[in-house]
Structure 1
Amino acid sequence: MCTRFLHRGDDIITGFNFEIDLAVWDHQVVLENDRFFIGILRPDGVRHSYHGVHRNGNAGTLLYVHGNPAGAYREGPDCLTIADLTERFIRAEITFDQALALVQTHRIVYAPDATMQAMLSDRQGRVLIVEPGIGWRAEYAPYSLMANASLLDPASTAPFALPGDDRYQRAEQLLKGSSAGFSVRDGLALLEEVHQEGIWATRVSFVYSVREQAVYYTENNRFDRIQVYRFPDGPGLPSSRTV
């Protein structure tokens, strides 16, 4: 369960609600000079950056989706997992254009142990939607939005929708009604509006402002306690503080 959006207006604002079962995934917010990310502990002992932002403006997130056989993990010279694609983008090992080329020349597949789809974006507000086994779509629109259903083939995941889960619809309504002045505060309000409770509660929420070169974030739905992390080439020095 997760929600990711991007808004293109006076600023490029991207936001993400990260929702997991703590019994399954070990996570930690990681602050580096070049990256802000939610580090997921993997069997190799490394906290991987599958959800985060690079200071060059690359922002990537993986969102759970009910899997389809065509996207099943496989090995081969023409195969690339959605997890590897996303992490390489967040690490700035590839540009947006290179990511776009990779999805056109490789078979994008799920990781061996999880079925995920991805939303990648850059500082210009370009968005790449990638769904293993289904396809990809590049967007340059006033806003982009993804939750846990397929955007490219909605019928394929419709039977698995949870009753009462209207996060996507509520977020879309807020984005549709927004203006060019959509701000960090607006992004945080959107994430708070669609936050989750229970086993799959929202564990981390973050909003990234390209103009400010800063990430505003909170953990465990504490929207009354927002912290801010500024990248080194943003206004002021790198810092993490509460606002």
Structure 2
Amino acid sequence: MCTSFAVHLDKTVIGMNFDISRRPIKIALQGDDQLLVLQNDNGQFYPAFGMNGNGTFMNLLMVDPIEEGNYRRGKDCIHIMKLFDEVLSGRIELAQILDYLESHAIVNLPNQSVHSMIVGKNRETYIVEPGRKHLEMDSSGSNKDFMVLTNFPLSEVISNENRNIKGAGADRYLKAYDMITNHRETFNLQTGFDVLQETVQQSGDYPTQLSLVFIPAESKVNFTLNGDFTKVYEFSFITKRIQSIEGFTSNQSLTLSKKGVLLTELEGW
């Protein structure tokens, strides 16, 4: 199901809990600077979320379908996986994203329904919901420096002042929202992990497989596996390496490639 957030203070801090049924999941490097998290479905690996060395992040979270967002062909129709590729490859700059969304109808792939958080290092955050209204972080609002996304259509409740939010992930949304609100002056890497730990799912159909905090200004991604926050891994966009950081009995590292590494391999460290 998943929980994600973007906080823009002295530094931009991006967080993501990747919640999905047990299956092979791998981290891979595409090109020189795209870090992708891919999940296996019927023998094929498909992107779930990713980020690049320029500090751009985009995810694909499950959401209730709506007919207007269903896959269709058309001159101005762009399916969201193409948007994902265009954004992370840098072919669409974030400064152009609103114009792009206005001039194209973003649709889902067949038999899928997702929405996305797109984040840049320069205080940019956008929510793309196929068939629904797209959102930009409101620079004049009370929550001007952060956004949270789980698994209900955010565009339908963003102006809901009474917090009577319903739908998949509403509880996780409110937990993350309140924690970020209460730590806006001191939000950092550890606070990001605290939010993810508070919203982690240890049981049910969608347990948390990967928890990740990305700080673009530092060119680093820190992550934990299976809801175990005692062991912290780090990927550097500068060295292209994953290494053990905290909680391990010995130092481990590897150079990431297009082939990628399975999370089960990293669990063995």
Q: TM-score per shorter chain, which class?
A: 0.7 to 0.9
Which of these residues, 200, 210, 213, is aligned with residue 195 of structure 1? 200
Does the aligned pair in 2 maintain the 1:19–1:203 contact within 8 Å?
Answer: yes
1:132-165 deviation digits (Å, cap 9, x = unpaired): 111211115211111101111139xx99725x95
Stretches of structure 1 that go unaligned for 5 or more consecutive residues are none
Shift of 1:77: 1.5
The total of aligned residue pairs comes to 233
Alpha-carbon distance in 1 for matches of 2:46, 2:63: 19
Partner of 1:8 in structure 2? 8
Partner of 2:265 in structure 1? none
1:145 aligns with 2:145: no
Partner of 1:40 in structure 2? 39
- Aligned-residue sequence identity (percent) comes to 25
Shift of 1:70: 1.1
Stretches of structure 2 that go unaligned for 5 or more consecutive residues are 159-163, 246-269
Which of these residues, 239, 242, 249, is aligned with residue 240 of structure 1? 242
Partner of 1:154 in structure 2? 157
Alpha-carbon distance in 2 for matches of 1:138, 1:202: 27
Q: Say what the alpha-carbon RMSD is for the aligned residues.
A: 2.3
Alpha-carbon distance in 1 for matches of 2:96, 2:43: 27
Shift of 1:52: 1.2
Does the aligned pair in 2 maintain the 1:49–1:87 contact within 8 Å?
Answer: no
Secondary structure at the residue paired with 1:14? strand
Does the aligned pair in 1 maintain the 2:72–2:107 contact within 8 Å?
Answer: yes
1:2-61 deviation digits (Å, cap 9, x = unpaired): 1110111111000011111236xx43122454122212346795x443401100111001
1:100-154 deviation digits (Å, cap 9, x = unpaired): 2221101111111210001101111201111111121111521111110111113
| Structural mapping, 1:1-243, within 5 Å | 1-22=1-22, 26-31=24-29, 33-41=32-40, 45=44, 47-139=45-137, 140=139, 141-154=144-157, 161=167, 166-198=171-203, 199-232=205-238, 237-243=239-245
Shift of 1:197: 2.0
**Which stretch shifts more, 167-176 or 27-36?**
27-36
Does the aligned pair in 2 maintain the 1:8–1:180 contact within 8 Å?
Answer: no
Alpha-carbon distance in 2 for matches of 1:93, 1:50: 19
**Which stretch shifts more, 92-101 or 191-200?**
92-101
TM-score normalised by the chain length of structure 1 = 0.88
1:63-96 deviation digits (Å, cap 9, x = unpaired): 1100111111101121011222123212323211
Secondary structure at the residue paired with 2:74? coil
TM-score normalised by the chain length of structure 2 = 0.80
Of structures 1 and 2, the larger Rg is shown by 2
Does the aligned pair in 2 maintain the 1:13–1:210 contact within 8 Å?
Answer: yes
Secondary structure at the residue paired with 1:22? coil
**1:88/1:42 CA distance change after superposition, 3 Å:** farther
Alpha-carbon distance in 2 for matches of 1:134, 1:126: 20
Does the aligned pair in 1 maintain the 2:210–2:227 contact within 8 Å?
Answer: yes
